[in-house]
Every structure is written in C-alpha cells, then in structure tokens.
Amino acid sequence: MSWRAPIDDILFTLTKVAPGPDGAPPLDRDDLAIIVDEAARFAEERVAPLDRIADTTGAKWADGTVTTPPGFRMAYADWAAAGWNAVSQSEEFGGSALPTAVGTATMELLTSACMSLSTLPVLSQGAADALEAHASAELKALYLPKLISGEWTGTMNLTEPQAGSDLALLRTKAVPAGDGTYRITGSKIFITFGEHDLATNIVHLVLARLPDAPSGVKGISLFVVPKFLPNPDGAPGGRNDVRCSGIEHKLGIKGSPTCTMVFGDGGGAVGWLVGEPHKGLACMFTMMNKARLLTGLQGVAIAEKATQLAQRYALERRQGKAAGFDGAAPIAAHPDVARTLARIQALTVSIRALAYSAAAAIDRAATADTDEARARAELRASLLTPIVKAFSTDAGCEVASSCVQIHGGMGFIEETGAAQLFRDIRIAPIYEGTNAIQAIDLVTRKIGRDGGGEVARVIAEARTDAASASMLLGGSAARVEAAIDALEAATAHLLAPTTAETDRLFVAPAYLRLFGIVLTGTLLARGAALAGEAEAHWPRLARVHAEELAVEASALLAQIASPSRRAEDYRALAGLG
C-alpha cells in the first residue's frame, strides 16, 4: 500500500474551493504548501508504514495496562514534538493558532496514514477545546500546555452501557469532597485511548451527575479526572482511582484501544468541575462541531486512500479484452470499472471540499470582521457539520467497499489492505453521533434555526456555483440544477408547519443525503470553474458527480415528500404492533 498525500488537491481545495464567496484562503498558498508538504512527508514516511501492523497486532490489554501497536510510541512522540498536535490550538497555551482549515488538512493526512492512531489527537484536541472554553484559569494553566503539546493526551467519557446516544440515562456520580474537588464513581464504555502507553498522563473529561442534579440531560456536569494527579509543580503525581478494566475486540481501527473505564471503585476518583454545575452537556457541545468535522474527515481520509489503492490495482491488473488494448486489458479499461473509479474519485474530492468548507466556516465564525459575519459563519458551520459528518462517512464506506470490489477476490484477502479500510471506516457512521442522529439534528435543529435563511443562502450559492460552471458541465448542468431544485422543494416541505414531526424524523437521512449531494456537486462545480491546468480533472469530476450522484435527487425528493408512505407499515414491521 503506497498511499501518497494528495497535496495538489488539498492545496487547491483549501485556497480556492473551500473559502467560498464570503472567505479568503486560510493562509497564502506558499505558506500552506510548506505546512502541507511537511505533514505529508511525516504521514507518508513515519505513520503510514504502521497502519497494517496496527491492524494485525492491535492494542493489547493486560492487568489494566494497554500496550499500543509497535511503532506508535515513537511516531506519536515525533508527531507531537513536531507540533502537529497543536496546529490549530491556542497560542496562549503553546499551540500554533493556525486556522482550523489548516489543522483539518494536516489531520486528513494523519488519518489516511493510520486512522487508528489518528483517533488519539482527535480526542486530545477535543478535550483541550472543552477545557479552554469552560475550565477555570487554574485548570487551564495546569492541563492545556501539556494537552496541546501532546505530552499528555485527553479522552471524552460520555457513554455508559445503558446510555449511548441518550445521555439522559447517565448514572456516573460526582460528590463534592469539601475541598473544591469531587469524587467520581461509575463506569464508562467505548473510551477511545482511555488507557495507553503513549503519554505520561491521560486527562479524562467525564460526564457525571452531582447529588442535587435534576434528572435527564439538564443534570449532567463535566469533570476533569486525570490518570495521575498533578503535583503542585504540574508533574504527574500519585495514581488516581481510575482504571481500564478491558478493551473491545473490534471490527476495525484495532490499533486504537476502545476502553472500559472504571472510576472510583477504590473509593472515588478525584475530579475537578469544568464550567458550571449541570451544564456539562453545553460544555460538550462546544467541541461537537469540531469532533464531528474530524469524524467526517475520516470519511475523506479513508476514501482518498481507498481510491488510490483501487486505481493502482485497476491499472495493474489485466483481465479480459477492452477497446484499445491487445491481449488482456487493465481492468480500469472495462467500462463498469472505469465508472466505479470515476465515481469514487468524485466522491472523495467533493467530500474533502465539503469538510474543508465547514472548517473554513468555523474559522470565519471565530475571526470574521463583523459580528454579523461571525454569526452567519457560525450558522453555516452548524448547518454543515451534521452533513459533513454523515454524508462523508457514508461516502467513505461506499468508497472503501468499491475498493474491495475492484480488487475482486484479492479484495477479500487481508494482505491487500482493501479489507482493512473497509473495516476501519465502518465505525465512522456510528460514533460521534450516529448518522441518523446527524440527520435528525439537521432537520429538527439546523435548517429551521433562522427560519430557513441559512439554507436559502446555501442554495443561492449553489446556484451561483452551478451557473459558474454551466459551460463546463455541458448537458450535465441540468442534473445539477434539478438537484438544487429538489433540495429547495424538500426544504420547503420539511419547514412547512403542516409536515408532522414524525415525518420529518422519518425522512431525515434522505434529506441529509440530498443536501450532501447538492453541496458536494456544487463545490465540484465551483472548483471546475476555478480550475487551472493542474486541476484539469475537476470539470470531469463535476460532470461525473452530476451523472452519478445528482441524478439521485428526484428519487430522494420523492421519498421525502411521499404522499403514499404509511407510517403504520413501518411501525408494524419494526415489531411495534
């Protein structure tokens, strides 16, 4: 597997496609090129070679300790030392404070190189963001420099066996100790890198209930619970009452330990409150946009790697006859294989543009000149986030599966690497809020947030982008326009007061997919219109997207606004009588 960082596409997307009409490139192209080149070299040379051994060896648990796969220690140490952990983190605590879009690009490269290792900085950055936004000055001073440098790592402890998507069901308790600290008791599952051998301390952010907490999600508070209690000088001191009781045996990302964490079975883990009591969920929401963006980015990263693998195999493998070849032709020459290859490239390049657009909106929300511009950018980021997360991870799964299929029988053999990508990416539609939950978020909270104004602006931009490329799109332009029309009609249907809430929930995934198709298609159109000689593939990608994806729009609209669907059929078949 010799994945190569797609540097040119990344730079073009960062500088030209993602900023959109409201924005500017995150840095000038030459500076970006230096950063991306450097990250690419690190990811290709130091991390990518670990991916397969991470899968075959896996993380190992014994007596409460977790051993990560061979090579992780050194690669992670060098990654952190080079500052890759801190690209977009706060300068005050040692980060480089570069735009989120830049950090997104470098994280894409790490994720393609080794998705299982990449989950560690995702969580650490999330923990740092939550502390920075909500923790006291003392906690920040103690934890942030080490989390941002990567000397320590972070975790997010949300899920409990009875409480996955439904945090109202959380039971972990926090009792004030009288000295300003709390004693935490409870069990958490599915904690990514909850225990490992890569850092000198692990900073757990834990959702728990105070004794006087109201029930439900309004009674959840956030605590910081370090593995080792920091001494006054900040160095890790005594061991806290938290341990890892086991790790999961998973379908994929086997190098990433998924831990069951036990807090306080020796009397109570020492924790410190982050933010206000009972406001833990709000603290978590702070980082949700970014965590969901980075999960969507996993779809991009694996799609990129799978596309490269599929294309290389399809050009090397010779089977059957095809026009223009004597003897056996490369399978890429067979029309159905060419079709798949073109489709997965259109998906890959366009979901990258989508993810980077969301990152650019996050940056504008923080740095735009006016309050209004920042508020509008925040609306945009919050609208795009569930679409990035769900559409891109679904696309990542499709592309990885196509890569397996193009390999034929070899795709089913683990040594080829295609199967690992297929297994690894399958978690992405599940964690960080299932894709159905993203769709429900989009439909029930996002599209109506400002009376549909932001969706209308997105649609207007999409029309502008499609128009800018209409000559290049040729006959396929009509497909793009029809998809935009379908999105507009579907949005109107969902926002209509006559549409029942149950119907909205029902069709939410179809609506999210339609929205994703329109966004990715018009981003390709925008890129096609801006493409120089180095981007000669963009007009082709835009046309292929129109023929392969935009064409779905009418069927999706028909599902969304179906007058003939009977909810009772679904309820009955679901076993609810």
Enzyme catalytic residues: 432
Nearest to 193 by CA among 122, 117, 257: 257
571 binds its own copies (CB under 8 A): yes
The piece of 272-280, 285-293, 317-325, 350-358 that touches its own copies (CB under 8 A) is: 317-325
**By C-beta, is 270 or 399 nearer to its own copies?**
399
**By C-beta, is 192 or 357 nearer to its own copies?**
192
214 binds its own copies (CB under 8 A): no
Question: Is residue 53 within 8 Å of residue 31, measured between CB atoms?
Answer: no
Cα four-point dihedral sign 274, 280, 282, 285: positive
Q: What part of residues 538-567 is at the interface with its own copies (CB under 8 A)?
A: 540-541, 543-544, 546-548, 551-555, 558-559, 562-567
One-letter amino acid of 168? A
- CB-side neighbour CA atoms (13 Å) of 149: 15
The contact mask relative to its own copies for 351-390 (x = CB under 8 A, - = no) is: ----------------------------------------
Three-state secondary structure readout of 210-227: CCCCCCHHHHCEEEEEEC
Smallest separation, CB 319 to its own copies (Å): 4
Q: How many residues bind its own copies (CB under 8 A)?
A: 101
231 binds its own copies (CB under 8 A): no
Beta strands 173-176; 182-192: pairing state: antiparallel
**By C-beta, is 13 or 181 nearer to its own copies?**
13
Residue 141 has φ and ψ, to the nearest 5°, of: -60, -35
**By C-beta, is 180 or 320 nearer to its own copies?**
320
Q: Which of 290, 292, 380, 479 binds its own copies (CB under 8 A)?
A: 479
44 binds its own copies (CB under 8 A): no
2 binds its own copies (CB under 8 A): no
The piece of 77-85, 133-141, 203-211, 469-477 that touches its own copies (CB under 8 A) is: 469-477
Nearest to 457 by CA among 20, 43, 34: 20
Residue 184 has φ and ψ, to the nearest 5°, of: -100, 130
265 binds its own copies (CB under 8 A): no
Q: Which of 10, 262, 309, 404 binds its own copies (CB under 8 A)?
A: 404
Quickly list DSSP for 7-35. Answer: HHHHHHIIIIISS-TT---SS-HHHHHHH
248 binds its own copies (CB under 8 A): yes
Residue 29, helix vs strand vs coil: helix
Q: Which of 147, 222, 244, 333 binds its own copies (CB under 8 A)?
A: 333
Residue labelled with tokens 């480089």: 96
**By C-beta, is 234 or 408 nearer to its own copies?**
408
**By C-beta, is 380 or 479 nearer to its own copies?**
479
Bridge partners for 202 per DSSP: 153
Q: How far is CA 114 from the centre of its chain?
A: 14
Tokens of 406: 């193009």
First to last CA, the chain: 51
